[in-house]
Amino acid sequence: MTTTVVINIRDAPPSWQSNPMYVYIGSPRMEGDIEYDGSPFGTPFSVPKDGDSAVAIWMKYLHQITRECGEIFDQAQELDQTVLVCDCESGRWCHGTIVAGVANGHLQFEGAVSA
Ligand SMILES: [Zn+2]
């Protein structure tokens, strides 16, 4: 049985874009001549924009996926046995580990928090 894993776009093999096993989960960007659409799994948070540390952003994204965004959670569950390709610079705090956690069944949807 294979599981869902995350790799950085710099480590992706040639022609991964045409392989349906590979799913881009980053922000909209240009890489050479190739334009990537933003993924629904892209994180709206960024280190320079919000002034947060990578781990704080990771926690925000985790909260958003497991508490607020049921639709994204459902979509992430369908990424079973894929390779997630991310463009973020966060190393081990890449938000893709959260998406992979959902796809691999390690995270549960907790539902919206009432204020
Ligand atoms: Zn990432």
Residues 6+ apart with CB under 8 A from 49: none
Residue 27 CA to ligand 1 center (angstroms) comes to 9
Distance CA 60, CA 65 (A): 9
- pLDDT, one tens digit per residue, over 90-105 is 777 899 999 999 999 9
Residue 90 CA to ligand 1 center (angstroms) comes to 7
Alpha helices in 64-114 (DSSP H): 70-77, 96-103
Residues with CB under 5 Å of ion ligand 1 are: 86, 88, 94-96
Distance CA 33, CA 19 (A): 18
Give the DSSP H/E element, type plus range, for residue 7: strand 5-8
- pLDDT, one tens digit per residue, over 8-66 is 999 999 999 999 999 999 988 887 888 888 899 988 776 666 677 888 889 999 999 99
